[in-house]
Amino acid sequence: MTSVPVNTPLITDEDKQSVMDALNSNWISSSSPAIEEFEQAWASYCGRKFGIAVANGTAALELSVRALDIGPGDEVIIPNFTIISCASAVLLTGATPVIVDVKLEDMCIDVSKVEAAITAKTKAIMAVHIYGYAADMKAILDLARKYNLKVIEDAAEMHGGELEIETNSWKRAGSFGDISTFSFFVNKLISTGEGGMLLTDDLETANRLKLLRNLGFTTPRYLHSIQGFNYRMTGLQASLGVSQVSRMSKILQIKSNLYEKYMLGLSGLEKYIKLPIYPSWVKSSYWVFPIIVNEESDRDELVQYLNENGIETRNFFISMSEQPYLKGKFKEVGGLKNSQKLSKCGLYIPSGLGLFGTDQDIVINKVKSYFIDRHNI
Ligand SMILES: Cc1ncc(COP(=O)(O)O)c(C=O)c1O
């Protein structure tokens, strides 16, 4: 039985009251006014004009590709090191994912390799912020402009994070893509249990996304001119989201405190593990605390040791090029060794918003004692 889960959510009394209010008012479905409230609150927090709430972050990615009219014969460039949702979103539209390696330092797409992957068929670049690191959106937008490509920004793991665009000029993650997407799964900074959202500044795109999310319903009702999907979010979920957006600065503070404490507690182990250090142009969301173990064998042994001591961990994503289901369905450009190394050597340790200080101490002590025992330090 795990005593320190990898993620413990933080649901406050205000969050509970917000959901109770939704229940008491019978506004529980996607017709609830809380949906628009949540969409507006999150769009405005991220500096965008329109928000479209959906059932989860995977649906958000799929709709982003569909709304940009990408389909059979088209290519979308994605990072090799990411969640399967990115590749699936592209494949579901009939387009081909083109996979590019990431950088070891920040785990995000290596923009210097993207240009070589662009062909006449390329329609979009999907940039993904990973584990609190930011994709270099400035460079990605430059390339997109040069080749007239669309940008999909997956900010599922970067709620509230910021990127410095010019000296002392910062923009929120989620404000860069033609369409930017979020997940509100239980382990995210804003969590509605399950949930997602797309942000855009383009009214036409926003309207198209709303149609796609809701079975293509227009007027007259039950007459459909496009194929849509039921990817709606419920009012109960939105009411939970609304209450959390209003305390986003507190949420970020908790995450940054957890980060600082881990950095302090695990200092001295740099010879064995790479701790997360974010570049000066990134204000991280500190989504999770990712570490990279030098040796592959160490990662699996460390995980086993922590698990045996009641500490749950999560291995890093397995890269897209290693997914049996994707075999033969993607194109790859350039080497993929960085993503493959991350998949083998990375893990994250408990870092949920509800992690108790005493539990964090236990994690720190156990990670340390593993290396002390194993390496006689
Ligand atoms: C980067 C990224 N994109 C997309 C998703 C998919 O979101 P969901 O689990 O809500 O479908 C996740 C999942 O956590 C994610 O980490």
Q: Which pLDDT score, from 0 to 100, does residue 295 have?
A: 76
Asked if residue 58 has its Cβ within 6 Å of ligand 1, the reply is yes
Place of tokens 């989620």: 174
Give me the mean pLDDT over the 222-227 stretch: 94
Q: Label each residue of 253-275 as H, E or C.
A: HHHHHHHHHHHHHCCCCCCCEEC
Give me the mean pLDDT over the 180-192 stretch: 98
Asked if residue 153 has its Cβ within 6 Å of ligand 1, the reply is no
CATH of the domain at 100: 3.40.640.10
Residues in the chain: 377
Cβ-contact 65, 71 below 8 angstroms: no
DSSP 8-state symbol, 281: T
- For residue 1, is pLDDT > 70? no
- Please, which pLDDT band fits residue 128 given cuts at 50, 70 and 90? very high
Element containing residue 299 per DSSP (H, E) = helix 296-308
Name every residue whose Cβ is closer than 8 Å to that of residue 142 and which is 6 or more positions away in sequence: none
Considering only CA atoms, which residue is closest to atom 3 of ligand 1?
156
Give the domain extent around 227. Answer: 1-377
Distance spanning both ends of the chain, measured CA to CA: 30
Q: Which pLDDT score, from 0 to 100, does residue 140 have?
A: 98
Q: Return the amino acid letter for 238.
A: A
Asked if residue 96 has its Cβ within 6 Å of ligand 1, the reply is no
Q: What is the pLDDT of residues 308-361, one digit of tens each?
A: 999 999 999 999 999 999 999 999 999 999 999 999 999 999 999 999 999 999
Q: Closest Cα to residue 210, out of 190, 194, 222, 226?
A: 226
Asked if residue 196 has its Cβ within 6 Å of ligand 1, the reply is yes
Ligand 1 geometric centre to CA of 152 (Å)? 14
User: Full-prediction pTM beyond 0.95?
Assistant: yes
Cβ-contact 216, 39 below 8 angstroms: no
Q: What is the pLDDT of residues 246-276, one digit of tens each?
A: 999 999 999 999 999 999 999 999 989 999 9
Asked if residue 185 has its Cβ within 6 Å of ligand 1, the reply is yes
DSSP assignment of 14-38, as one string? Answer: HHHHHHHHHHHTT--STTSHHHHHH
Q: Rounded to an integer, what distance in angstroms lies between the CA atom of residue 283 and that of residue 229?
A: 35
Considering only CA atoms, which residue is closest to atom 15 of ligand 1?
156
- Give how far the C-alpha of residue 259 lies from the chain's centroid of Cα atoms, to the nearest Å: 18
Q: Which pLDDT score, from 0 to 100, does residue 349 have?
A: 98
Asked if residue 343 has its Cβ within 6 Å of ligand 1, the reply is no
Q: Rounded to an integer, what distance in angstroms lies between the CA atom of residue 95 and that of residue 121?
A: 10
- For residue 135, is pLDDT > 80? yes
Ligand 1 geometric centre to CA of 267 (Å)? 30
User: How much is the mean pLDDT over the chain?
Assistant: 96
Asked if residue 57 has its Cβ within 6 Å of ligand 1, the reply is yes
Q: Angle at which helices 296-308 and 337-345 pack, to 10 degrees?
A: 30
- For residue 368, is pLDDT > 90? yes
Ligand 1 geometric centre to CA of 59 (Å)? 9
Q: Rounded to an integer, what distance in angstroms lies between the CA atom of residue 130 and that of residue 328?
A: 25
Count the domains in the chain: 1
Asked if residue 175 has its Cβ within 6 Å of ligand 1, the reply is no
Considering only CA atoms, which residue is closest to atom 2 of ligand 1?
156
- For residue 18, is pLDDT > 70? yes
| 3-state SS class at 290 | strand
Top mutation candidate among 85, 182, 197, 315 for ligand 1, by most atoms within 8 Å of CB = 85
Q: Which pLDDT score, from 0 to 100, does residue 374 have?
A: 84
**Which atom number of ligand 1 is nearest to the Cα of residue 82?**
1
Asked if residue 85 has its Cβ within 6 Å of ligand 1, the reply is yes
Q: How many CA atoms lie within 13 A of 9 on its CB side?
A: 17
Considering only CA atoms, which residue is closest to atom 1 of ligand 1?
156
Number of DSSP helices (H) and strands (E) in the chain, helices first: 12, 15
- Please, which pLDDT band fits residue 298 given cuts at 50, 70 and 90? confident
Asked if residue 156 has its Cβ within 6 Å of ligand 1, the reply is yes
Asked if residue 154 has its Cβ within 6 Å of ligand 1, the reply is yes
Give me the mean pLDDT over the 16-27 stretch: 97
Q: Closest Cα to residue 101, out of 322, 357, 347?
A: 322
Q: What is the pLDDT of residues 276-289, one digit of tens each?
A: 999 999 999 999 99
**Which atom number of ligand 1 is nearest to the Cα of residue 184?**
10
Ligand 1 geometric centre to CA of 174 (Å)? 14
Give me the mean pLDDT over the 48-76 stretch: 98
Element containing residue 371 per DSSP (H, E) = helix 357-375
Asked if residue 183 has its Cβ within 6 Å of ligand 1, the reply is yes
Name every residue whose Cβ is closer than 8 Å to that of residue 359 and which is 6 or more positions away in sequence: 3, 4, 350
Ligand 1 geometric centre to CA of 58 (Å)? 6
What does each C-alpha distance from 196 to 183, 190, 296 come to in angstroms?
4, 10, 34
The percentage of residues in the chain with a pLDDT greater than 70, rounded to a whole number, is 99
DSSP assignment of 128-168, as one string? Answer: E-BTTB---HHHHHHHHHHHT-EEEEE-TT-TT-EEEEETT
Name every residue whose Cβ is closer than 8 Å to that of residue 324 and which is 6 or more positions away in sequence: none
Cis peptide leading into residue 276 (ω within 30°): no
